[in-house]
Amino acid sequence: MTLPSLTPPTYQDVVAAAERLSGVAHRTPVKRSAHMDERLGAKLFFKCENLQRTGAFKFRGAYNALAQFSDEQRKGGVLTFSAGNHAQAIALSARLLDMPALVVMPEDAAHSKMAASREYGAQVVTYNRHTEDREAISQQLARERGMTLVPPFDHAHVIAGQGTAALELLQEVPDLDYLFVCLGGGGLLSGSLLAAQALAPRCKVIGVEPETANDAQQSLRAGHIVRIALPQTIADGAQAQALGELTFPIIRDHAEDIITVSDQQLIEALRFFAERMKLVVEPTGALAFAGVQAFSGEDDGAKLLQGERVGIIISGGNVDLARYSRFLAD
């Protein structure tokens, strides 16, 4: 079974999701950095979803989707596929809502993410991401076990839930000139666009993806969904090969632009978060800030964000400590 999700989500769906998540999801803090404000000549507002339950924004969309299951669906349970953060979010949401959960994860997924998914109570099935199709595996398992498949981004209820992060940011910090959002499959960016269109229509929303995983940038330029080979990047949460049927139209119609950053720029962003803001952030979670630095033109002294109010969503903080230490030491 698959939870109906073909109808595009709206801002009202984001508002309804916020009501569902009230008292369940954390209202994450918005942090500042006087050092970086001065360096870029802008006012930066960091929405810290690395401090969300399960360590990432993904909890918002997962819980919003599962909370709308029928009694029959709850009895059958939920199934998803994910490299880690959505898997953990589904696992915890299922536990809170008292239903079985199964997650299909690549065998080379971060150990911490796989372990956490199991600790939250989900059964984990692994696959080879280079030779096997995770969606085909998931659909077959869902049919065999009578479970409801909730994909990680191309789902109306998931998108609406993810949009509540930007909703909270814009409620707390109105009149943003820019909002930078990380981009993999497009769930967070799509939900953020719905919130921004309603609360701050003049705010320019920019998606940021790894330069080796620029399928969304290519799609925006081409006017249709472009699918790429499995990308290689340290941002494991942004290794989606294509945008979704729901996320692409929202991004195409409302995003100001999509830009890319290198793995080295992500490592530099991780160091900034650790040294200056005392925050543990995973590479995918640093995409938006790395994008701000690249967009600002600080390297050539242009400071394109001079005087602007800039929102940045730190999307997650789940990273193996051994891997994290290598990033900081390199």
Question: Which residues are catalytic, by number?
Answer: 58, 315
Closest listed residue to residue 159, CA positions, set 190, 180, 182: 190
- What's the token pair of residue 233? 């990047």
Q: Are 210 and 260 in contact (CB under 8 A)?
A: yes
| C-alpha–C-alpha distance, residues 82 and 65, integer Å | 15
| C-alpha–C-alpha distance, residues 225 and 125, integer Å | 29
| C-alpha–C-alpha distance, residues 25 and 59, integer Å | 7
| C-alpha–C-alpha distance, residues 84 and 308, integer Å | 34
- Sign (positive/negative) of CA torsion 282, 261, 28, 61? negative
At 13, the amino acid letter reads D
CA 28 to chain centroid, in Å, comes to: 15
| C-alpha–C-alpha distance, residues 159 and 21, integer Å | 14
**Stretch (H or E) spanning 58:** helix 58-66
How would DSSP label each residue in 208-223?
Answer: EEEGGG-HHHHHHHHT
- What's the token pair of residue 223? 């006017």
Q: Are 258 and 208 in contact (CB under 8 A)?
A: yes
- What's the token pair of residue 118? 């199991």
- What's the token pair of residue 66? 């599962």
